[in-house]
A and B are shown apart, each in its own frame.
Chain A
Amino acid sequence: DAMVIQNPRYQVTQFGKPVTLSCSQTLNHNVMYWYQQKSSQAPKLLFHYYDKDFNNEADTPDNFQSRRPNTSFCFLDIRSPGLGDAAMYLCATSRGPWDTEQYFGPGTRLTVT
């Protein structure tokens, strides 16, 4: 009954080698979010989609991009991963930007070698 699914759960990539993380949802929610969480840190919002409307956080590096080809799927692309991009990446959804509850996926742990 998984509602927000993230694949893969663990991803290892090389320094500078592009990587894509995947998120899908069965909730038919309008909003999808990507967070980055480093060890002992708060989840940090990178960007979110409200339907097809992309909203980037001001301090999200250009190295991070996102795609949402349809309601169910959202991708996080890291064009040239650096060692500092190693983190847990969390995908979340909500019915709308007004909704106070977000539904999280299990996360993808990214390692950069």
Chain B
Amino acid sequence: AQRVTQPEKLLSVFKGAPVELKCNYSYSGSPELFWYVQYSRQRLQLLLRHISRESIKGFTADLNKGETSFHLKKPFAQEEDSAMYYCALKRDDKIIFGKGTRLHILP
């Protein structure tokens, strides 16, 4: 069964420190993976997708098929990064979300 696992419910990181939000997936085909973000009092929105190999707001994520992982990273955390982050997998015409990790940036 296709599944997305985010092992951490909460991650607290000091401002300026590196951030890594973990995501593992199980999928039998070639996965399309994404990170969605929800800032306080805002709607859920797409942050980045693995196909684009882009850096958004300083965040990057590399698909590691050997480890079936798609961890989200940023070298230097900023206070405005505090949010809920969801890793997601596209299967057919649907998106399967992980349970999310709340990132709290400490001043």
Enumerate A43-96 residues with CB–CB distance to B below 8 Å: 43, 45, 48, 50, 55, 90, 92
Please report the total number of A residues contacting B with Cβ < 8 Å. Answer: 22
Contact across chains for B93 and A45 when beta carbons are under 8 A apart: no
CA distance A41 to B96 in the complex (A): 12
Give the secondary structure class of B's interface: strand
Given known A-B contacts A42-B86, A45-B94, A102-B95, A90 and B46 have beta carbons under 8 A apart: no
Question: Inside 8 A of B98's CB, which chain A residues have their CB?
Answer: 42
Minimum-distance CB pairs A-B, first 4: A97-B93, A42-B97, A104-B44, A104-B43
Footprint of A on B, CB under 8 Å? 4, 9, 32, 34, 42-46, 49, 51, 86, 90, 92-100
